[in-house]
Amino acid sequence: MFTKLVRIGRDAELKHTANGKSVIGLACVYDIGWGDNKKGQWIEVSIWGKQAEALAPYLLKGKQIVIYADDVELETYQKNDGTSGSKLKARAVNIDLTSGQQSAPSQGAVAPQQQRPMSQQAAPQQQPAPMAQAQGFDNSFDDSMPF
């Protein structure tokens, strides 16, 4: 599974295959390297079906999204000038629109519950985690642990 925060290189264009399936071919870029060695790596991501139809209006040039993709491959081809070229391609399994954007619910997403006045909200129940209690797990924070 390939998971990456990317920027969209051009507005999404929803197309349909000959047998009626919806598809978007999305050009995305992400940074690789550090400091002066940092460069952009382009990847072409395909989004299929109802997810493509639902997300198309939100996938605009310059927006940041998180892609979860399978079937990542490097495709090689022959350029018009006779030299060989290559491009990175992937099939999106899921797309998350990052915060700060209007977002469409992705497949399987649950709508947030409406806010109720505090007087009508049920008090949260405080219960320790079963594994922590059963095995005597010490969940105190230790500053000496490197992360």
**Domains (ranges, CATH) in the chain?**
2-102 (2.40.50.140)
Cα 49 from Cα 44, distance rounded (Å): 17
Q: How far is CA 134 from CA 128, 129, 138, in A?
A: 10, 9, 11
Contacts of residues 71-74 at CB distance under 8 Å and 24 or more positions apart, as own/partner, are 72/2, 72/43
Tell me which DSSP letter residue 99 carries: T
Cα 2 from Cα 126, distance rounded (Å): 37
Between 62-66, 85-89, 96-100, 141-145, the lowest mean confidence (pLDDT) is in: 141-145
* The Cα angle at residue 102 between residues 52 and 122, in degrees rounded to 5: 110
Residue 30: other Cβ atoms inside 10 A: 14
27-59 residue pLDDT tens: 999 999 998 999 999 999 999 999 999 999 999
> Is 0.85 surpassed by the pTM of this model?
no
88-124 residue pLDDT tens: 999 999 999 875 444 444 444 433 333 444 444 444 4
